[in-house]
Chain A
Amino acid sequence: METVGSAQGPVEVFAASSVPAVPARTVPPRHSVLVRITHWITTLCFFALLLTGAEIVISHPRFYWGETGNVLTKPLFQLHIPSSRKLVPTGYGYVLPDQNGWSRALHFQAAWLAVLTGLLYAISGFFTGHFRKNLLPGKSAFSWRVLWHEITDRLRLKRPSDADASSYNLLQRLSYLLVIFVLFPLVIWTGLALSPAFDSAFPATVTLLGGRQSARTLHFFVSVALVLFLLVHLMMIFLAGFWSRTRAMITGRIDARKEGT
């Protein structure tokens, strides 16, 4: 049995009269079908891109700034990890197995799927008002004081209020907007800049970033930023109630009674 509407707002309720014992949903699902499907496809792609990206970095864990860079030039910085290539000076006495062939193929295939999914999400988000209604903070909703409160609450690992189960709070809205409209476009741009063929058709893709090696270094930093987002995102889900939040993203429904378990 589902609980009848409580103070937390939209939950499944039974229609009071009419057809008895048939649950009638009086509110739309917490997350639309499109949001749920694109969320999980993106999740899948993100893990594939992360794993294969890490494999590719291992073949040259050195980063440069400007147009060119190789083992004969000074790096901007390097990761102190072993490499899958003999000629990279790492200080380790061994070479890891080469995984670049399938890693590159999966990286690009996952990138295609992620970009097409992202386009579907973005275009439908504009048409359905998803961004306006669910993500953009309303004029009255934005205040630095509220934002500061939410940040300090989260830093003190305070559980989000129950109202957050049915609507995003201000900090969430701003984080999601940052990921969707800044970090994702940036990671796609810096990734495309690494394609010599794409750059031949659109040279500004790479020259605006300050050269090929700058683009590669930025691609790495944006990826790190996305991983940081993922870690905080996961932490918040655990804090708010892993099963209830995950279920909401799978079935679209929230269950106020079980919220927080």
Chain B
Amino acid sequence: MSNLSRRKLILSGLTATAGVAGLGVAARLAQKYGLVPPDHGGLYGPGETLTYAAQRLLTRHSMAREFSRSQISPRPFPNELAPLTDDFKRLQAGGFADWRLTVDGMVHESASFSLSDLKSYPSRSHITEVVCEEGWSYIAEWIGVPLSHVLNLVGVHPQARYVVYTSTEPDTWDSIDMADALHPQTFLTYGMNGGELPVPHGGPLRMRLPRQIGYKSLKFINRLTVTDDMKKFGKGLGSAAREAGYAWYVGI
């Protein structure tokens, strides 16, 4: 082997090692700063990861646009609703007095809240737009308790990374990262436009995230699970919607 080709070999070897190491460091840094979504694999993984990472860096603390009372849509469109289950109808007949929200997972103490428990905490409201991935939108006032308040009550472990939330609708669950879970506009919503939250809009309890597309704001929430690993849930992609082909993070 001539000196020249040996030098070439060593050089290209070093370059390749540096390249792989560089990519590894980038991936490690992205993981460390929470810039990799649970659905980062697959054909559309690169696009999903770029969108999530870019928006996480730009919007960690930014607030969704809020509107004036005069801009509230007179007829908010509730969208299609799956037929209500018998269990739900039974709870509805009882005025949702028996509705419970359980909180478990990586918390100091698992807990269960009734609606009146949730309503006894400081109530907050914001007038924000619901934005559907199909293109339509409306503005409403949303009243509830910030999710962060409930998470603080149960005490979240420092290594927690996601909050999984489950609906009473069959096979309906989703999750958000801690940046969204602790965001001041992320509500467990029980009221709308000055009144109770109507059932077609997700009453008695709806997750409301005004910085993401509407399908992330699940209706009929009855369980929260705090976790550090999305792989433990479903197919590990982060949400039931993602398993049906709809992105986990929907800031756009």
Contacts and interface: CB of A to CB of B under 8 A. Distances in A.
B55 interface: yes
B135 A59 contact: yes
B247 A105 contact: yes
A56 interface: yes
Interface in B47-70: 47-48, 50-51, 55, 58-59, 62-65, 67
A216 B135 contact: yes
B75 interface: yes
Interface stretch (A21-29, A123-131, A152-160, A191-199): A191-199
B47 A200 contact: no
Interface string B200-243: 00000000001111000000000000000000000000000000
Nearest to A63: B135
Given A108-B252, A216-B135, A197 B55 contact: yes
Nearest to A75: B136
B59 A67 contact: no
Given A70-B137, A100-B134, A199-B65, A108 B51 contact: yes
Interface in B124-138: 129, 131-138
A237 to B, nearest CB: 30
B79 A87 contact: yes
Contact of A200 (B65, B80, B136, B139): B65
Given A56-B135, A195-B252, A196-B210, A101 B62 contact: no
Nearest to A111: B47
Interface string A194-227: 1111111101001100001100100000000000
B252 A198 contact: yes
Contacts of B245: 101-102, 105
A73 interface: yes
Given A72-B75, A112-B47, A200 B134 contact: no
Given A105-B43, A201-B59, 7 more contacts: A56-B134, A59-B134, A59-B135, A60-B135, A68-B137, A70-B73, A108-B47
Interface of B: 43-44, 46-48, 50-51, 55, 58-59, 62-65, 67, 71, 73, 75-77, 79-80, 129, 131-139, 210-213, 244-247, 251-252
